[in-house]
A and B are shown apart, each in its own frame.
Chain A
Amino acid sequence: MKIKVCGLKHPENIEAVTALQPDYVGFIFYGKSPRYMAGLPVGALKTIPASIRKTGVFVNESAENIEKLIAEYGFDAIQLHGDESPEFCAKFKGKVTVIKAFGLNENFDFEQLKDYANNIDLFLFDTKTKEYGGSGKTFDWAILDQYKLDIPFFLSGGIGPENIAEVKNITHPQFYGVDLNSRFEIEPGLKNIEKLKDAFNIVKNKTQMKYGVNEQGYYGDFGGAYIPEMLYPNVEELRQQYLNIINDEGFKAEFDDLLKNYVGRPSPLYHAKRYSEKYGANIFFKREDLNHTGSHKINNAIGQILLAKRLGKKRIIAETGAGQHGVATATVCALMGIECVVYMGEIDMARQAPNVSRMKMLGAKVIPATSGSKTLKDATNEALRDWIGNPVDTHYIIGSVVGPYPYPDMVARFQSIISAETKKQLVEHTGSELPQYVLACVGGGSNAMGMFYHFLDDESVKLVAVEAAGKGVNSGESAATTALGNEGVLHGSRTILMQTEDGQVVEPYSISAGLDYPGIGPQHAHLFKSHRGEYVSITDDEALQAGLLCCQLEGIIPAIETAHALAQLEKMKFEANDNVVICISGRGDKDLDTYIKYFNY
């Protein structure tokens, strides 16, 4: 949603407003307005950044005067607030952005707008008054439903601090932005910066932005899309479409239905009583292991297959480490009748053999990645190479919050169901939606991001991300990315990765195939660097012991990945009333072989 701040006239105030980065600023050239900018020096507009559109607002002004003022002040847009005809508007179309304002009430005749459609760029709908706007009153926004043209519009008239949140409920497809004016003032023409700031935060979801992605695909210093040109069209198609598709009501309905009836969501939030006793806090397990296919990976696979279908893709590729994402992808491809190819490191195929068979039974082709360390990173390389060669008909279902933008954001959104459900379930258990801690293991970071997502802005909630230390952080055989890595580019995004000083990617090691990855998603890199999250690591031995403990205290055999998160409990100190949620990202069936060998069962 765009923001226009209108009615500026004091140089210092203009500077303070532009620092908030509105999309448009408006200057009123109408002698009867208390916000008339008469006498404002031309220079006062010169410092306004080019990204902000300077708008001159006129009421029945002559074309010559408007043209003169455009040239003088360098306006990028004009807003015509009087009785200007379509022909009059047409004179400026193509030269500047032309905004035509109308005052609306319940008797407004929307038919009259038709003649303007080809001659302007935007409408602005204000409250109908005897004067030309500026009343500070709202109109009944329901009448906007009668507006059916395809020209976007600004909403104006009486939008103030107490109703700004409501405008976010307007779902009209042409709703372009809000025009903020008299309700954010100290006196006419002097804006109240603090009030504006709050409104901007509400409109732009700024608090979410603090840890969320920006329009260029960055989370602070991390993210972006560092991809060869061969991948650009594929990734660009996704970037342009993903939000439209996943916000579409039809998509949401299908996604929710499959999550409920196919995956078995909501997954329980289980109060682990024996764990709670042992660790002296209320420990809750978010049971992603109970999902169909046995892990959180299915949430993302369902989302992406529905997206791929809407993009008209005929073939799916995926990479997999532990095989959980491969199985989830093979599953949704079977469900939709789409061809499926999964790349898997040769070493991982050996240590997660049951999952290889599962994928084959589900009809997928499994191709071993034999380059490099023959694990997850190399499987990802092979999948990217496949995608380069098949740019038109193939969708790549990346299994974690890694890869070029928009993947990290898209996968995080699909996995965010984990924390959305957790909040509701916590209210039932504890009376509050906020716990003191949430914990999750991090390979690329998708279960962790799903677990953190709706708590990111609740800064009282401590986010704990557990990486795999392998045989020890300093053993030379580890996958503890934040402990061992530094900033660089891996698989298309700027993030933190394990690398040599020459920028070669270091081959990681963990007993758990799903955590055996030398990077983390860019959003995790941002949470780490900004200290919003605490990043710790757990060794193979600690994880396996914790896995066994979970079997014996709670009767749940966790995936070895998950066991890393459980092991972290040993190292934490809790208050008796602390509520702690651990994401049980997957079940341990695939790991029985490793457990059995380790413990000699």
Chain B
Amino acid sequence: MNRLNKLFASKNNNLLSIYFTAGYPALNTTVDIAEALEKAGADFLEIGFPYSDPVADGPTIQHSSEVALENGMSLKVLFEELAELRSRVSIPILLMGYFNPIAQYGIERFCKKAAEVGVDGIIVPDLPIYEYENMYSSYFIDNGLSNIFLVTPQTSEERIRKIDDLSSSFIYLLSSSTITGYNLKLSDSVEDYYKRITAMKLNNPTVIGFGITDSSSFAKACNYANGAIIGSRFVKLLGEDGYIDKIDGFVKGIRP
């Protein structure tokens, strides 16, 4: 059982996860930020590795990726920074990023290295189910890594079942079909969608992401899922001066 499974086994509501882009605003900040987030009370983290063409991201994360790349961030550099991760941080960690940098690094090597530095799960938005299942799943499984799939309001029930079968820690629900960085609008249809998912009684817990920005959208999301993820709003904070000292207040502001 990896750290993610343990977390979900011990706590199943109001889980707070934070996303940030490695290498932003500067190199050698990844573990500092992760440590500060753990101290502030975050339950698990997603560390993004940057890509030049992040099609699923809005302006905030696009910008953080650009800066991170200019700073020289890469998977190689990230794994170097993460060497000291597990001496300082104990909450579950996921890596999130696009497929091409992983493919160039080598998928098998990537999975091995991730496991070695103590990563628990991977989110690759543009790695499709078919390719995952038929070509790559063994690398994830052999290294004890959970692969996290996304589900949107347009995902069919049949496909959600399939995703549930392939998942081993949680399923990432998108509040709507959107790129990152837009506010969650809790319209009737979104509510219907969450209810539909709840009624499916999936094997895996669910966490809602994209568009969660503050305590009220966080609380709303937690009505329907085991927790929620904040990304762009936190990445904005990292662009401010003295961000490290603001992390505690940020996290407590989301989940008082």
Contacts and interface: CB of A to CB of B under 8 A. Distances in A.
Interface in B93-141: 99-105, 125-128, 130-131
Contacts of A488: 100, 103-104
Contacts of A228: 55-56, 125-126, 150
Contact of B152 (A226, A230, A377, A503): A230
Interface residues of B, number: 39
Contacts of B100: 488-490, 499, 503, 505
A388 B74 contact: no
B104 A227 contact: no
A426 interface: no
B51 A226 contact: no
Nearest to A237: B154
A384 interface: yes
B155 interface: yes
Contact of A388 (B56, B102, B149, B159): B56
Interface string A468-512: 000000000000000000011111100000010111110000000
B58 to A, nearest CB: 8
A226 B52 contact: no
B154 A233 contact: yes
B12 interface: no
B178 A232 contact: no
Interface residues of A, number: 33
B76 A502 contact: yes
A227 B126 contact: yes
Interface string B48-60: 0001111110100
A489 B52 contact: no
B75 interface: yes
Given A377-B53, A490-B53, A227 B177 contact: no
Contacts of B150: 228-230
Nearest to B151: A229
A230 B55 CA distance: 11
B131 A224 contact: yes
B94 to A, nearest CB: 16
B101 A226 contact: no
B147 interface: no
A488 B66 CA distance: 20
Nearest to A232: B155
Nearest to A487: B103
Nearest to A502: B74
B69 A504 contact: yes
Contact of A489 (B56, B76, B99, B156): B99
A492 B127 CA distance: 9
Given A228-B55, A385-B55, A488-B100, A391 B154 contact: yes
B216 to A, nearest CB: 23
Given A232-B152, A232-B159, A502-B101, 15 more contacts: A216-B130, A226-B131, A227-B126, A228-B55, A228-B126, A229-B150, A230-B179, A232-B155, A233-B152, A372-B53, A388-B55, A389-B177, A488-B104, A504-B74, A505-B52
15 contacts: A227-B128, A228-B126, A229-B155, A230-B152, A233-B155, A381-B55, A391-B154, A488-B104, A489-B99, A491-B55, A503-B51, A503-B100, A503-B102, A504-B69, A505-B100
Closest 6 CB pairs of A and B: A503-B104, A503-B101, A228-B125, A233-B154, A229-B150, A502-B74
